Chain A
């Protein structure tokens, strides 16, 4: 065990550097993904047919082609057209668009899951669509979508390891460097790697779980079970 802490403290500047890249990709990716998910999710239920079809096409495109392919497009193809994003931004935009598309399915599903009478009552009150969504539908859907978004957040954190493929030095990279150091070795290096990723994912997941509890309390609902595997499986397929 002391070997483990010795290795971690020896490599702490590098691990910190790697963790910073991983955290920046996770945080940046999550922000982009949330925006994309909300915009596309709202478009998917909007009364305007063009928006619905447009969001459907975009979502299916990003869900259907692999994350790595999209990332390589940003990293290798865009510079050919004069758009030269730094690796970090490629990662953030790529992760954000891909997981945003998955997230929009969760958002759409939750908005659709709000009871029909809620929509009908907004019509009875002659609310406009934006007002109805903002004040009536969204607050109720929010509590429903958080478990699904939570699962996707954990997947996004794991997805940051694609950084490796576009030359970024993230946690995975430094773990592999540690592994090659004969004084550290396989088990300590990867033990640290699994532990760090687990802790980051756990922190994100717990934070979102708190938000979820709060949203459900405000709606007067009992806390749900956190596992929403079916919805997530549907979103990522």
Chain B
């Protein structure tokens, strides 16, 4: 069994295509939504009264501690049970899969990001809260102008790291048949049993995208987190 370099190079194009069209889109959209949701969960966990807060924390724990593939299948099953495919006959199956994927990835990783935000918020000294009270700032302004900007500084590298983790989890989309890069690789390789080449290329693309980003996050961490 030898490595067919020519075939490997041929697959780079289609795999990069799938990477840009699916993997990257899902990662970017998923991370942005997850970062927003995570912030909402973190603020809710501080602001809401205990009877609401505890169930929320429990739900977030369950989401955090159960597998992504199960959640992806769950999302598709809900979609089917509401007859979704018939309600949107014009949208193709892949697009629906991607939208569901973004939603699941966003919700799943928002529970991790909420923990990061919480750590960031906890790291802010009590004096900042007291100063905000002394200025009698309204509560929403305390968050927007005092707490969140400072917390974000300590949280940003963590959020970036979770986004990279999400990126590497995108092949889970295979279970709901979204044609992301690894699915494409499997399909290309399966035609002639040349799996070595396709998975090597797919792995290298992952490495090439995630390693520099991870290094950047480590640099950012050194700069922002004291």
Chain A contacts to B: CB under 8 angstroms: 60-61, 63-70, 72-73, 76-77, 80-81, 154, 157-162, 164-165, 171-172, 175-176, 179, 186, 190, 193-194, 197-198, 201-202, 205, 227, 229-230, 233-234, 236-237
Contacts and interface: CB of A to CB of B under 8 A. Distances in A.
Contact of B118 (A161, A165, A175, A227): A227
A89 B24 CA distance: 31
A178 to B, nearest CB: 11
B81 A161 contact: no
A237 B225 CA distance: 17
A164 B196 CA distance: 21
Contacts of A172: 67, 69-70, 73
Identify which of A159, A161, A179 gathers the most chain B CB atoms within 10 Å of its CB. Answer: A161
A237 B67 contact: no
Contact of A237 (B65, B165, B199): B165
B62 A227 contact: no
B174 interface: yes
A203 to B, nearest CB: 11
Interface string B50-66: 00000000000110111
Given A65-B203, A68-B182, A161 B195 contact: no
Given A61-B207, A229-B158, A237-B214, A190 B77 contact: yes
Contacts of B186: 72, 76
B40 interface: no
Contacts, number: 151
B217 interface: yes
A198 B63 CA distance: 9
Given A64-B214, A234-B221, 17 more contacts: A61-B207, A64-B207, A67-B169, A68-B182, A69-B202, A77-B195, A80-B1, A154-B65, A158-B66, A162-B69, A197-B65, A202-B65, A205-B65, A230-B158, A233-B116, A237-B165, A237-B210
B172 A197 contact: no
A117 B193 CA distance: 57
22 contacts: A65-B204, A72-B195, A76-B199, A77-B196, A157-B65, A164-B69, A172-B69, A179-B73, A186-B74, A186-B77, A186-B78, A193-B66, A193-B74, A198-B61, A229-B112, A229-B115, A229-B116, A233-B157, A233-B162, A237-B161, A237-B165, A237-B214
A68 B171 contact: yes
Nearest to B209: A64
Contact of B165 (A69, A154, A233): A233
Q: Is the interface of B mostly helix, strand, loop or mixed?
A: helix
Contact of B1 (A65, A66, A81, A237): A81
Identify which of A72, A164, A234 gathers the most chain B CB atoms within 10 Å of its CB. Answer: A72
A143 B64 CA distance: 24
Contacts of A165: 174-175
Identify which of A80, A160, A165 gathers the most chain B CB atoms within 10 Å of its CB. Answer: A165
Interface in B102-135: 112, 115-116, 118-119
Interface string B1-19: 1000000000000000000
A15 B204 CA distance: 37
A201 B119 contact: no
